[in-house]
Amino acid sequence: MTVRRVMGIETEYGISVAGDPTANAMIASGQVVNAYASSHGVRSGRAGWDYADEAPLRDARGFEMGRGEADPSQLTDIEDPTLANVVLTNGARLYVDHAHPEYSSPEVTTPRGIVTWDRAGEMVMLESVRRLAATPGLAAVNLYKNNTDGKGASYGTHENYLMRRETPFAEVVKHLIPFFVARQAVCGSGRVGIGQDSRTAGFQLSQRADFFEVEVGLETTLKRPIINTRDEPHAVAELYRRLHVIIGDANHCDVANVLKTGMTSLVLAMVEDGCVGLDLTMVKPVATLHAISHDPTLRATATLRDGRTLTAVQVLWEYFGAAQSYLRDRGHDPLEDPDTEEVMTLWEQVLTKLETDPSSCGAELDWVAKLNLLESYRDRDGLAWTDPRLRAIDIQWSDVRPEKGLFHRLRERGRVTTLVDAAAVARAVTEPPEDTRAWFRGKCLEKFAPQIAAASWDSVIFDVPGRHALQRVPMLEPLRGTKAHVGEIMDRSPDVTTLLRELDAAAG
């Protein structure tokens, strides 16, 4: 009955090396990760990633793909010692993924938490860029918080939501496919060019939509599905499933990011409780996904199985109405649950504005803010959508450097709505969330980094002086390991030996 749940977000950043379009992206990405890690006392060869519990080929539909059948890009449970891979003191993971530097946020429990630690990732990447630029002998690297290079390559922004294992996955598929098809009207980040390689001129809502080809599937880098079926909970498998959402864009606008995760969490709550109360099954969801993205007037319609035709905004109104009824029937109290109230308020406000005048959402939504800026250049200079300057503006929009990134300039001028202030983001660069297991992971990295051999979402592995075997501390319950749960133990533990002894005593 709430937007609150354990969730996180992963962003692969676009990368370029100044003056060298043929540069090796994997090497450059490794330099990005190491530049940050080395400046903060975290060595990629030490506090690396624990792959023991990874299972990327396990499918939510009840089977596991054979390793011989899988594309190599799916085998994310194989450690590559040549790639930089570190855990940060804020509980996040920073590593090289498919030739891109990726920042995976720590686990949070609210949409505002997503915004806070996602923007902290932008600060991490910015520091890496600045350090590399100041390092003699290394070429300057630029990073972009976007999802395509405009030439046919796409890289992801993935969301993760912890959900109840008992929920039939068929219900997830049924209700979330139409929601994800329509959701881009609110949380698309906008893109110059139509088609995977941008061969058709124009502007569209989403950077990722054209790269999706099927409705349901296990893959993430080929034959991309609207619903990803990877069943890798990083938690107690008997109780939880992790919904791995690969269809979102990288958002800069706080409102869009809050709505992306908040709306999704609420729809998922309704699915878990069997209370969606409507059937919006679409006849051709993949084709409809593309058509909606290609029409920034928001007039494109989806044909439903029951014969109705609805625009993306109308589909989202249907889900909004269902969420209103769901919350009302369960006695939702806005004072007791301000996070849910904020999402519902913003959801209604944004849909109302999109329905009457989409261009009025420039302060809230990425695609609208970007389109408004592009149209101003088009009007001023008489530019057609085929003009390469517009594609350059599209890329520059997402540059992580404040002095270069066009979105940053809009925010500095007060042209976009800010929900999380810069001070909170700055704290989140080094501090973990206090209300999930990320707090324990991050504080261990801060206090005991030399004794940590590896870590993952659900474990920390210590190399304890005097012990021959490595000591694993499991963290399968994401809401344990919080500051409230183990803060006092951490405070009174001057070393790892004491910490492990105190944890054993508390557990026993």
Q: Is the pLDDT of residue 43 over 60?
A: no
pLDDT of residue 63: 56
- Rounded mean pLDDT, 352-374: 98
- Is 279 part of the annotated catalytic residue set? no
**Span 370-420, pLDDT tens digits:** 999 999 999 999 999 999 999 999 999 999 999 999 999 999 999 999 999
Catalytic residue among 97, 210, 295, 435: 97
Query: Following CA atoms 58, 153, 287, 73 in sequence, which dihedral angle do they give, to the nearest 10 degrees?
Result: -10
- Both tokens assigned to 275: 């209370």
Share of the chain above pLDDT 90, in %: 84
Query: What's the pLDDT band for 44 if we cut at 50, 70, 90?
Result: very low
Q: Is the dihedral of CA 428, 432, 433, 434 positive or negative?
A: negative
Contact 157, 261 (CB under 8 A): no
pLDDT of residue 51: 65
pLDDT of residue 19: 86
Q: Is the pLDDT of residue 287 over 80?
A: yes
The H or E element that residue 289 is part of is: helix 285-293
pLDDT of residue 396: 97
Q: Is the dihedral of CA 211, 215, 220, 221 positive or negative?
A: negative
Sequence-distant (6+) residues with CB within 8 A of 347 are 259, 262, 263, 316, 320, 323
Q: Is the pLDDT of residue 272 over 50?
A: yes
Q: Is the pLDDT of residue 75 over 70?
A: no
Strand boundaries in 401-484, DSSP class E: 452-456, 459-462, 471-474
- Domain definitions of the chain by residue range: 7-427
Q: Is the pLDDT of residue 76 over 50?
A: yes
Share of the chain above pLDDT 70, in %: 92
Q: Is the pLDDT of residue 45 over 50?
A: no
pLDDT of residue 84: 84
Instruction: Calculate the average pLDDT of the chain.
Output: 93
Query: What's the pLDDT band for 466 if we cut at 50, 70, 90?
Result: confident
Closest CA relative to residue 401, chosen from 9, 10, 18? 18
pLDDT of residue 507: 82
Contact 403, 412 (CB under 8 A): no
CATH of domain 7-427: 3.30.590
Of the listed ranges 27-41, 111-125, 232-246, 399-413, the least confidently predicted one is 27-41
- Both tokens assigned to 429: 């660069």
- Rounded mean pLDDT, 349-354: 98
- Rounded mean pLDDT, 228-249: 95
- Distance set, CA 211 to CA 201, 281, 368 (Å): 17, 21, 21
**Span 104-155, pLDDT tens digits:** 999 999 999 999 999 999 999 999 999 999 999 888 999 999 999 999 999 9
Alpha-carbon distance of 127 to 130, in angstroms, equals: 5
- Please tell me the pTM assigned to this model: 0.93
- The string of DSSP letters for 87-146 reads E-TTS-EEEEETTEEEEEPPPBSSHHHHHHHHHHHHHHHHHHHHHHHTSTTS--EEEE-S
In DSSP terms, 302 is beta-bridged to 310
Residue type, 276: V
